[in-house]
Amino acid sequence: SQQGEEDPQALSIQEGENATMNCSYKTSINNLQWYRQNSGRGLVHLILIRSNEREKHSGRLRVTLDTSKKSSSLLITASRAADTASYFCASSGNTPLVFGKGTRLSVIA
């Protein structure tokens, strides 16, 4: 299985702090993707990093990818209460996206 696994399972921070979530996967990939899920809603795509990329930015999001360690991290800078959600990584090879269990992020105002 190339399933992504996020770490930590839950994270609680104060508004304004940075949040870092990690993800590991098992097999070779074409890309790795991060998604956000608000409670009871669908997943929303945040950012995609290709296997030949090492870092990518989108607004307050920064994603890194280390294919030698089969790991990725998502950094949310200057967090806001509205960032409270579950965050999932998903690895993509030649099979459909496989999601991990997610990190539940709580940002306290």
Partner 1 sequence: EPEVTQTPSHQVTQMGQEVILRCVPISNHLYFYWYRQILGQKVEFLVSFYNNEISEKSEIFDDQFSVERPDGSNFTLKIRSTKLEDSAMYFCASTLVGTGQNSPLHFGNGTRLTVT
State the residues that interact with partner 1 by CB under 8 A: 30-31, 33, 35, 40-45, 48, 50, 88, 90, 92-102
* 19 vs 88 by CB, closer to partner 1: 88
Sign for the CA dihedral angle at 47, 53, 58, 61 comes to: positive
| Residue 13 CA: distances (Å) to CA of 33, 98, 107 | 23, 28, 5
What's the closest the beta carbon of residue 26 comes to partner 1, in angstroms? 15
- The set of residues, in sequence order, having a beta carbon less than 8 Å from that of 45 and lying 6+ positions away, is 33, 34, 35
What's the closest the beta carbon of residue 86 comes to partner 1, in angstroms? 9
3-state DSSP assignment of residue 51: coil
* 14 vs 52 by CB, closer to partner 1: 52
What's the closest the beta carbon of residue 15 comes to partner 1, in angstroms? 25
